[in-house]
Chains A and B, each alone.
Chain A
Amino acid sequence: AQSVAQPEDQVNVAEGNPLTVKCTYSVSGNPYLFWYVQYPNRGLQFLLKYITGDNLVKGSYGFEAEFNKSQTSFHLKKPSALVSDSALYFCAVRDPNTGRRALTFGSGTRLQVQP
């Protein structure tokens, strides 16, 4: 079965500081990994994905994520946080070996960026 864990319910960071939102996954083979962001009263917006290749993936709004196979992690990062980055972030996984096409989401991490 595929699963993903986001160990932190909330991450607080000061504006201008780097941010990291953690995600670990569990799949039987090589995973397809995704990050989405949800702003208040909005749907989920796609940020970036890892399919194969370079372990550092760059996405929208200056976000990037690093795939680490040995640690089964896919942490979301940004060098300098903005107050407008405050939102709910979801990590998601698909295991291509299972044929399951729906994304399995983590529980979400609320990012709070303080001015």
Chain B
Amino acid sequence: DSGVTQTPKHLITATGQRVTLRCSPRSGDLSVYWYQQSLDQGLQFLIQYYNGEERAKGNILERFSAQQFPDLHSELNLSSLELGDSALYFCASSVVEVTNTEAFFGQGTRLTVV
């Protein structure tokens, strides 16, 4: 168990809908990263937050947004969902932003858009 908690584990929703994925980082970790894992794209970095502030953006669509709250949990909001958004969404956390520290991953949320 990595200590990173993601809810829900599975989510099935229809095209055009909006969903929110939640992540609780390891105790004490200030940095949260969101990744998307799909069969054809592999693991793609979406966005990073550090202590409530957005730090870096990767291949995140405009329909997607995220935030990190004062208690350090983070939410990833996906709207106007398309079939191609079906994927496994991972949250990872690390203590600080130092580049030599490893990140710890949650078990992911499997999103299926039908």
Where the two chains meet, the residues of A that have a C-beta atom closer than 8 Å to any C-beta of B are: 32, 34, 36, 41-46, 49, 51, 90, 94, 96, 99-108
On whether the beta carbons of B45 and A43 are closer than 8 Å, the reply is: no
B52 to chain A, nearest CB (A): 16
On whether the beta carbons of B99 and A46 are closer than 8 Å, the reply is: no
Query: Would you call B55 an interface residue if the criterion is a C-beta within 8 Å of the partner chain's C-beta atoms?
Result: yes
A3 to chain B, nearest CB (A): 12
On whether the beta carbons of A90 and B105 are closer than 8 Å, the reply is: no
Partner of B107, one of A36, A42, A100, A102: A42
Which of B55, B90, B102, B104 gathers the greatest number of chain A CB atoms within 10 Å?
Answer: B102
Known interface pairs A102-B58, A107-B42, A108-B42. Does A43 touch B99 (Cβ–Cβ under 8 Å)? Answer: no
Query: Would you call B14 an interface residue if the criterion is a C-beta within 8 Å of the partner chain's C-beta atoms?
Result: no
On whether the beta carbons of B45 and A96 are closer than 8 Å, the reply is: no
- Size of the chain B interface, CB-CB below 8 angstroms: 25
How many angstroms from the CA of A45 to the CA of B103 in the assembled complex? 9
On whether the beta carbons of B105 and A45 are closer than 8 Å, the reply is: yes
On whether the beta carbons of A46 and B102 are closer than 8 Å, the reply is: yes
Known interface pairs A43-B2, A101-B31, A101-B55. Does A32 touch B99 (Cβ–Cβ under 8 Å)? Answer: yes
On whether the beta carbons of A101 and B48 are closer than 8 Å, the reply is: yes
A8 to chain B, nearest CB (A): 14
Known interface pairs A32-B100, A101-B97. Does A44 touch B105 (Cβ–Cβ under 8 Å)? Answer: yes
Quick one: CB contact mask for B46-58 with A, threshold 8 Å, 1 for yes?
0010000001101
How many angstroms from the CA of A45 to the CA of B90 in the assembled complex? 12
Report the nearest B residue to A92, measured CB to CB.
Answer: B43
